[in-house]
Amino acid sequence: MQDTGKNIIIAGVGGQGILLFSNLLSKFYMKLGYELKISDVIGLGQRGGGVESHFRYSNNPVLSPFIKAGDADYVISFEQTETLRYLHCLKEDGIILSSTFELSTSSVNTRLEKDMPESKTELIRKSGKKTFIVDPDENKNPDFDISKMMNIVMLGFYAELRGYSHDEMIQIVKENVPKKFVEGNIKAYEKGMAIAQTEVAEKESELSNC
Amino acid sequence: MVMMNGNEAVARGAFEAGVKVAAGFPGTPSTEVMDYTHQRYPDIYCEWSTNEKVGLEVAIGASFAGYRSLAIMKTVGLHVAADALGGAAGSQINGGLVIVVGDDVGRIAGDDYNDVRHYGNMFNIPVLEPSDSQDAKDLMVKAFAISEEYTTPVILKITSVICKTTSRVIIDEDYTYEAKCRVKYPVSFSKVIMTTMMMNAKGSEHPKLVKCFNDFPAHMKRLADDCNDFDINNLELRGKKIGVITAGTPYFYTKEVLPDASILKLGLVMPLPEKLIRKLAKHVDKLYVIEDGHDILEKNIKDLGVSVIGKELFPKFPEMTRFTPDVIEEKLVPDAPKRAIMDGIPFRLPVSCAGCSHLFITQILKKHKIKAAADVTCGLIGCFPHTEAYSLQKCMGSSIALSHGYNVATDHKENFVAMIGDGGFWATGINGLMNLIFNDSQSTVIIVDNSCLAMTGGQHIASSEFGFNYKPENKLEIAKVCEAIGVKDIVTVDAYEIETLENAILNAVNAKTNSVVIVKKPCITKFKLPKSDPYHIDQELCTQCRKCIHIGCLAIESKKGKDGKVEIVINEDLCVGCGLCSTACKFDAIKL
One-letter-per-residue 3-state SS of B472-522: HHHCCCHHHHHHHHCCCEEEEEECCCHHHHHHHHHHHHHCCCCEEEEEECC
At A91-107, the pLDDT tens digits run 999 999 999 999 999 88
Q: Which residue of B has its CA nearest to A15?
A: B574
Q: Are B94 and B182 in contact (CB under 8 A)?
A: yes
pLDDT top residue among B206 and B462? B462
Residues paired with residue B309 on neighbouring β-strands, in sequence order: B288
Distance of CA B337 to the CA centre of its chain: 36
Confidence grade of residue B515 (pLDDT, cut at 50, 70, 90): very high
With CA atoms as reference, report the closest residue to B348 among A41, A79, A45, A101.
A45
Task: Check residue B252 and give its pLDDT.
Answer: 98
| Cα dihedral B296, B300, B306, B309 in deg (nearest 10) | 10
What's chain B's average pLDDT? Answer: 94
Touching A: B residues 194-233, CB under 8 Å: none
Task: Check residue A43 and give its pLDDT.
Answer: 61
Percent of the residues in chain B that have a pLDDT greater than 70, as a whole number: 99
What type of residue is B517? V
B333 touches chain A (CB under 8 A): no
Q: Which residue of A has its CA nearest to B353?
A: A47
Confidence grade of residue B542 (pLDDT, cut at 50, 70, 90): very high
What type of residue is B34? M
Task: Check residue B385 and give its pLDDT.
Answer: 87
Task: Check residue A204 and give its pLDDT.
Answer: 75
Task: Check residue B171 and give its pLDDT.
Answer: 92
All residues of chain B having their beta carbon less than 8 Å from the beta carbon of residue A111 are: 546
Alpha-carbon radius of gyration of chain A? 17
Q: Are B491 and B460 in contact (CB under 8 A)?
A: no
- Cβ separation A37–B554 shorter than 8 A: no
At B6-17, the pLDDT tens digits run 999 999 999 999
Q: For residue B548, say whether it is annotated as part of any ligand binding site.
A: yes
CA–CA dist B71, B52 (Å, integer): 8
Q: For residue B227, say whether it is annotated as part of any ligand binding site.
A: no
Touching A: B residues 73-112, CB under 8 Å: 106-109
B428 Cα to chain A: minimum distance (Å): 24
- Cβ separation B253–A115 shorter than 8 A: no
Q: Which residue of A has its CA nearest to B387?
A: A110
Q: For residue B542, say whether it is annotated as part of any ligand binding site.
A: yes
Task: Check residue B562 and give its pLDDT.
Answer: 72
Percent of the residues in chain A that have a pLDDT greater than 70, as a whole number: 94
**Interface test with chain A among B251, B345, B525, by most A beta carbons within 10 Å:** B345
- Between chain A and chain B, the number of residue pairs with CB atoms below 8 A apart is 158
With CA atoms as reference, report the closest residue to B144 among B103, B184, B93, B105.
B93
- Left (φ > 0), alpha (ψ -120 to 50) or beta: where does B79 sit? alpha
Task: Check residue B109 and give its pLDDT.
Answer: 57
Contacts of A4 (CB under 8 A, 6+ apart): A58, A59, A60
Task: Check residue A100 and give its pLDDT.
Answer: 95
All residues of chain A having their beta carbon less than 8 Å from the beta carbon of residue B378 are: 46
Task: Check residue B220 and give its pLDDT.
Answer: 96
Contacts of B12 (CB under 8 A, 6+ apart): B4, B36, B40, B137, B140, B169, B171
Touching A: B residues 549-588, CB under 8 Å: 549-550, 552, 554, 556-560, 571, 573-574
- Cβ separation B386–A84 shorter than 8 A: no
Residues paired with residue B421 on neighbouring β-strands, in sequence order: B448
At B311-363, the pLDDT tens digits run 999 998 878 888 999 999 999 998 888 888 999 999 888 889 999 999 999 99
Q: Are B418 and B443 in contact (CB under 8 A)?
A: yes
B25 Cα to chain A: minimum distance (Å): 20
Q: For residue B578, say whether it is annotated as part of any ligand binding site.
A: yes
B27 Cα to chain A: minimum distance (Å): 14
Range in B135-149, B183-197, B280-294, B516-530 with the lowest mean pLDDT:
B183-197
Structural domains in chain B plus CATH codes: 2-191 (3.40.50.970), 233-332 (3.40.50.920), 357-520 (3.40.50.970), 536-591 (3.30.70)
Exposed, middle or buried, A113 (CB in 10 Å: 0-12/13-18/19+)?
A: middle
Task: Check residue B248 and give its pLDDT.
Answer: 97
Q: Average of pLDDT values for B129-136?
A: 98
What type of residue is B264? L
Distance of CA B30 to the CA centre of its chain: 7
Range in A199-203, B29-33, B107-111, B401-405 with the lowest mean pLDDT:
B107-111
Confidence grade of residue B181 (pLDDT, cut at 50, 70, 90): very high
Contacts of A47 (CB under 8 A, 6+ apart): A14, A15, B351, B353, B354, B525, B554, B574
At A163-190, the pLDDT tens digits run 999 999 999 999 999 999 999 999 999 9
CA–CA dist B36, B163 (Å, integer): 12
pLDDT top residue among A17 and B93? B93
Task: Check residue B111 and give its pLDDT.
Answer: 61
Q: Where are the alpha helices (DSSP H) in B183-215?
A: 191-200, 207-210
Task: Check residue A144 and give its pLDDT.
Answer: 86
Question: What Cα–Cα distance (Å) separates residue A81 from each residue in A51, A121, A151, B107, B326?
Answer: 12, 9, 16, 20, 22
Domain A5-209 falls in which CATH fold? Pyruvate-ferredoxin Oxidoreductase; domain 3 (3.40.920)
Q: At residue B386, does pLDDT exceed 90?
A: no
At B203-245, the pLDDT tens digits run 778 888 888 888 899 999 999 999 999 999 999 999 999 999 9
At A108-143, the pLDDT tens digits run 998 889 999 899 999 999 998 999 999 998 888 888
A135 Cα to chain B: minimum distance (Å): 13
What's chain A's average pLDDT? Answer: 91
Range in B108-122, B149-163, B249-263, B497-511 with the lowest mean pLDDT:
B108-122
Q: Are A39 and A66 in contact (CB under 8 A)?
A: yes
Q: Average of pLDDT values for A142-149?
A: 87
Task: Check residue A86 and give its pLDDT.
Answer: 96
Instruction: Find the CB nearest A116 among B161, B344, B559.
Output: B344
Exposed, middle or buried, B260 (CB in 10 Å: 0-12/13-18/19+)?
A: exposed
Touching A: B residues 344-363, CB under 8 Å: 344-354
Q: Which 8-state DSSP code applies to residue A102?
A: -
Q: At residue B112, does pLDDT exceed 70?
A: no
Q: For residue B575, say whether it is annotated as part of any ligand binding site.
A: yes
B455 Cα to chain A: minimum distance (Å): 8
